[in-house]
Amino acid sequence: MWFLLIFSITFTNLIPQSSANDSFCPSGWSFSLNTSYCYTVSSDSYTWSEAVNYCQSIGGQLVNVRSGREYVFLTQLTSQNLLQPWLGYSRKSDGNFYDLTGYSAYYAYWAQGEPSGNGDCVTFQGQNNTGLRVTPCYNIQPALCKQMPALCPNTTQYGGTYTRSGVITSPGYPDQYYNNLDCLYYITSPPGTYITIEFSPWVVEYWYDYVFLFDGPDFTYPYIGEPLGLYGKNSFESSNNSLTFFFYTDSIITDKGWQATWTAKANTPPISQSGLNGSLTSDNYPNDYDSYTERIYYISTSFGFKINLTITDFITEANYDVLRVYNSSTVNDNYLVANLSGSSVAPWNYLSPSNYLTLKFTSDGSVQKQGWSLFWFMQ
Ligand SMILES: *[C@@H]1O[C@H](CO)[C@@H](O)[C@H](O)[C@H]1NC(C)=O
Ligand SMILES: *[C@@H]1O[C@H](CO)[C@@H](O)[C@H](O)[C@H]1NC(C)=O
Ligand SMILES: *[C@@H]1O[C@H](CO)[C@@H](O)[C@H](O)[C@H]1NC(C)=O
Ligand SMILES: *[C@@H]1O[C@H](CO)[C@@H](O)[C@H](O)[C@H]1NC(C)=O
Ligand SMILES: *[C@@H]1O[C@H](CO)[C@@H](O)[C@H](O)[C@H]1NC(C)=O
Ligand SMILES: *[C@@H]1O[C@H](CO)[C@@H](O)[C@H](O)[C@H]1NC(C)=O
Ligand SMILES: *[C@@H]1O[C@H](CO)[C@@H](O)[C@H](O)[C@H]1NC(C)=O
Ligand SMILES: *[C@@H]1O[C@H](CO)[C@@H](O)[C@H](O)[C@H]1NC(C)=O
Ligand SMILES: *[C@@H]1O[C@H](CO)[C@@H](O)[C@H](O)[C@H]1NC(C)=O
């Protein structure tokens, strides 16, 4: 009865489907979609401690059974075997059986009548009374090895000194990500910038699979947050030019995954002017402004007065390098008065409806021009 209960809990969930296959494993190993591990059974037979060494020598370890899915998979894998293969369990001084990483053998995976006193090591029985079976360690049996496949990207470094943006997707996106992932991502952007990142779409098993973001070059830096899809926010920013995150997934249930788009933003503080009059230019004027400029200009004058602003010179890349004018004290699209770009803007004159004006200049990565110059006075 306990047996049925455990399996019905585990398997009423979605069966994962992913695009991974044997090509994700070293040759001679088979990939299990149900567990996201690679497996192989040795053709030779060994004692238990020789089997431990054998699996290590080929890059894996003697199998432990970590889920109902893995149990079913092993039953299928070994159902035709004449010799029951070794698992990575052995009896410790407390009399109980533990795997090579120190986890105790889950009681539901033992064959009926086990664990018996018939030895101190464990094999897997794939037919009839299936499950873990205590076996003398000196027996000669095949080794059943497993290893993590290479499912995380083979690089962890993204961006760089000259890279302003990028797109990163979860492994297997947009089909299906894999179980048991712990993938790392380090993003760097040019000096003097900070990184904004947005996860969209975000289609990930709620709570059990997650991305954690950190504000710096590794995950010892402060935690920034995690995307939550419909349950919360999905965009984040770093305070400097590096960002780290990891994608962790548990052993069951996967989904489509995520796509993260990141952009470097110039860390340029806003410029504020107030008083009776003033003048402003784009950075470096009359030399070319920089690529990826993003700067805000706040103008204010005495309450009850207005701002008469005149642009005397204006040359930018049409449609891409834009000076936006807002009739408000902040950048707010509802108060956008003009998007100015190109070379036929100047002279341009505007009288604000109140004593505030805000301007924002942005440039893209290609084609820089001399920019703009303006003056304003209280009226
Ligand atoms: C296995 O996956 C790889 C990478 O996604 C793909 O190129 C290959 O065609 C797949 N092979 C099979 C047999 O599905
Ligand atoms: C995966 O798990 C499902 C559900 O238990 C089972 O029907 C299927 O045979 C398993 N496949 C493999 C390859 O283990
Ligand atoms: C499994 O059980 C069947 C009948 O129940 C029997 O014929 C067969 O020999 C058994 N196999 C093993 C390996 O014990
Ligand atoms: C990563 O994998 C890609 C293709 O899958 C390959 O072109 C590239 O050389 C690999 N990079 C490294 C560092 O192994
Ligand atoms: C930002 O990162 C740079 C390295 O790119 C470092 O020199 C600088 O100290 C960092 N600034 C802050 C405030 O952490
Ligand atoms: C600009 O304001 C200053 C005082 O802040 C004043 O001395 C100057 O005459 C003004 N210039 C113009 C052109 O109004
Ligand atoms: C703004 O000032 C200019 C002179 O610089 C003047 O020609 C223009 O009429 C003024 N605009 C308004 C709406 O008063
Ligand atoms: C400010 O600009 C917005 C958008 O152009 C416009 O709808 C609004 O009427 C302006 N406000 C005033 C007081 O002129
Ligand atoms: C500014 O440009 C955007 C598109 O970039 C456009 O949707 C908007 O209507 C423009 N607004 C004005 C006031 O020209």
Q: Are residues 142 and 43 in the same domain?
A: yes
Q: Are residues 193 and 210 in the same domain?
A: yes
The predicted-structure confidence for 234-262, as pLDDT tens digits, reads as follows 999 999 999 999 999 887 777 889 999 99
Q: Is residue 339 part of a domain?
A: yes
**Which residues in 228-263 are b (16+ Cβ under 10 Å) and which e?**
beeeeebebbbebbbbbbbbebebbbbbbbbbbebb
Q: Are residues 349 and 254 in the same domain?
A: no
Q: What is the rounded distance in angstroms from the CA atom of residue 27 to the CA atom of residue 147?
A: 12
Q: What is the rounded distance in angstroms from the CA atom of residue 75 to the CA atom of residue 72?
A: 5
Q: Is residue 350 part of a domain?
A: yes
The pTM score is 0.56
Between the CA of 240 and the centroid of ligand 5 the distance, in Å, is 6
Nearest to 149 by CA among 169, 185, 175, 178: 178
Residue 334 per-residue DSSP state: G
Quick one: average pLDDT of 115-143? Answer: 94
* Confidence class for position 5, pLDDT limits 50, 70, 90: very low
Supply the range of the domain harboring residue 187. 157-266
Q: Are residues 243 and 366 in the same domain?
A: no
Residue nearest to atom 5 of ligand 8 (CA): 337
Residue percentage of the chain with pLDDT more than 70 = 95
Q: What is the rounded distance in angstroms from the CA atom of residue 64 to the CA atom of residue 275?
A: 74
Residue to substitute in 349, 350, 376, 379 for testing ligand 7 pocket (most ligand atoms within 8 angstroms of CB): 349
Q: What CATH code is carried by the domain that includes residue 361?
A: 2.60.120.290
Q: Is residue 152 part of a domain?
A: no
**Most confident by average pLDDT, 12-16, 162-166, 309-313:** 309-313
Helices of type H across the chain: 2-11, 48-57, 68-78
Q: Are residues 257 and 128 in the same domain?
A: no
The predicted-structure confidence for 324-336, as pLDDT tens digits, reads as follows 999 999 888 999 9
| Overall number of domains in the chain | 3
Q: Are residues 323 and 262 in the same domain?
A: no
